[in-house]
Structure 1
Amino acid sequence: MVWKPHVTVAAVIEQHGKFLLVEEHTSEGVLFNQPAGHLEPGESLLDAVIRETLEESAYHFLPTALVGIYQWHQPLHDRTYLRFAYTGEITGHDAERTLDTGIIRALWLTPEEISAQIQLHRSPLVMDSLQDYMRGARFPLNVVTTY
């Protein structure tokens, strides 16, 4: 068997001082995460973050910058994740759209509200990418080349 990390994407989206999170059912209980998910075969990272944001939150997302790339080993399931976190703009909302299985709701929270619930984050990457965003971390989209 060949080892490989789980490649994921996440959207760090701010509007009016609040950030978009999703509340979701996980094997560890109900937790908070940014709209996020796995890269699918044949898909670019940008296409993946646009798709995952729509599927999990019903918001249309236009990525404008890469916030960071994060590697995390999740000890409970002995998995390594490689996460590409993007920021950008909301360009629409499908209020009638059914959210992905397991997603309870999308919600907007202040950084203080997010920090106060750190024990309910899906991973440490939620807070790390939020803090990097707030520090102004932005890399051009073309830092990742897709063929």
Structure 2
Amino acid sequence: MNQTLAKRPAVTVAAVAERDGRFLVVEEHDSAGRLVINQPAGHLEPGEDILSAVMREALEETGWTFRPEFLLGVYLWEHPSKTHSYLRLAFGGKALEHDPARPLDDGIVHALWLTPDELAARGPQLRSPLVLQCVHDYLAGGRYPLELIKAYGGF
């Protein structure tokens, strides 16, 4: 793989929703077929604005309608293989309504709510270290206004 392209991060969004001390996550199969845990997250699609992307990803992966309320953080992570990297914009917000009959994205096994301790205990199963980092940042009170997110050019 071209090293220049490998270093160019893919833009992803992640939804961090907490209810009664539990966080909404998904169990999914990664590209290697491993069962991993992640926040509802995915890639920004062409022509899509960032907030619409996080709402879409949460709905497609969990069946929950997600309302972003704040920017939690911006994270740059290089996969240990050094073949790809990600720029993740994580948003905190509310999971409002659930449609249990909604089909979930390919690769998603199911959505579940886990405590921070339950997530930490599943460390090797976490898709990336960003999963637990986002929860820690949420619990530490990281909150930035959505007005920081700007889009220009037809979004």
Q: What is the SS of the residue equivalent to 2:127?
A: coil
SS of structure 2 residue aligned to 1:70 = strand
The alignment-based identity, stated in percent, is 50
Partner in structure 1 of residue 15 of structure 2: 11
- Distance in structure 1 (CA, Å) of the matches to 2:33 and 2:72: 27
Note the 1:94-133 alignment, pairs <5 A: 94-133=99-138
Deviations along 1:39-89, whole A, 9 cap, x unmatched?
000111100000000000000000000000000011326101000000111
* Residue number among 58, 61, 82 corresponding to 2:66 in the alignment: 61
Q: 1:120 Cα deviation (Å)?
A: 0.5
Paired AA for residue 7 in structure 1: V
Q: Which runs of 5+ in 2 are unaligned?
A: none
- The partner residue of 1:40 within 34, 42, 45 is 45
Gaps of 5+ in 1: none
Cα distance in 2, alignment partners of residues 98 and 28 from structure 1: 20
Q: What TM-score comes out, normalization by structure 2 length?
A: 0.91
TM-score (ref. length: structure 1) = 0.96
The structure where strand makes up a greater share of residues is 1
Q: Once superposed, which parts of structure 1, at least 4 consecutive aligned residues long, lie more than 6 Å away?
A: none
Equivalenced residues, count: 147
